């Protein structure tokens, strides 16, 4: 996943997220935002965890087949805000992960 605003020059690869960041974002942000916004049309397209998404995307050859899904441009700001809200208010996460 590519997130331009997560760019950080101190990383070996400034634009790439770590496995931990991807899991945090998907499991605690993305999925929770889908639930909170009641977007059932999205919920049916995305597995409940990033591990399940990896299993879905893996081909028999062992390679991964990722797909692109389009979101309505008017929905993106609300959805992005809800992802941030879900992560920043999840008190079960370590404080550094909620920033």
Strand partners, 36: none
At residue 58, φ and ψ (nearest 5 deg) are -75, 130
Q: How many domains does the chain have?
A: 1
Q: Which helix (H) or strand (E) holds 35?
A: helix 31-37
pTM attached to this predicted model: 0.73
Q: Is residue 44 part of a domain?
A: yes
Do the beta carbons of residue 79 and residue 33 sit within 8 Å? Answer: yes
Q: Is residue 37 part of a domain?
A: yes
pLDDT tens by residue, the chain, 99 residues: 455 566 666 766 766 777 888 888 888 898 889 888 888 777 778 888 888 888 888 888 888 887 777 888 888 889 889 988 998 888 777 777 666
Q: Is residue 13 part of a domain?
A: no
Range(s) of the domain holding residue 67 = 18-94
Q: Is residue 6 part of a domain?
A: no
């Amino acid at each position: 996943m590519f997130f331009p605003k997560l760019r950080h020059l101190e990383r070996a690869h400034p634009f790439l997220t770590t496995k931990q960041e991807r899991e945090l974002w998907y499991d605690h942000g993305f999925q929770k935002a889908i639930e909170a916004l009641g977007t059932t049309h999205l919920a049916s397209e995305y597995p409940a965890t990033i591990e399940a998404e990896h299993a879905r995307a893996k081909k028999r050859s062992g390679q991964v087949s990722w797909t692109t899904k389009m979101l309505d441009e008017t929905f993106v700001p609300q959805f992005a805000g809800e992802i941030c809200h879900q992560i920043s208010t999840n008190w079960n996460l370590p404080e550094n992960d909620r920033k």
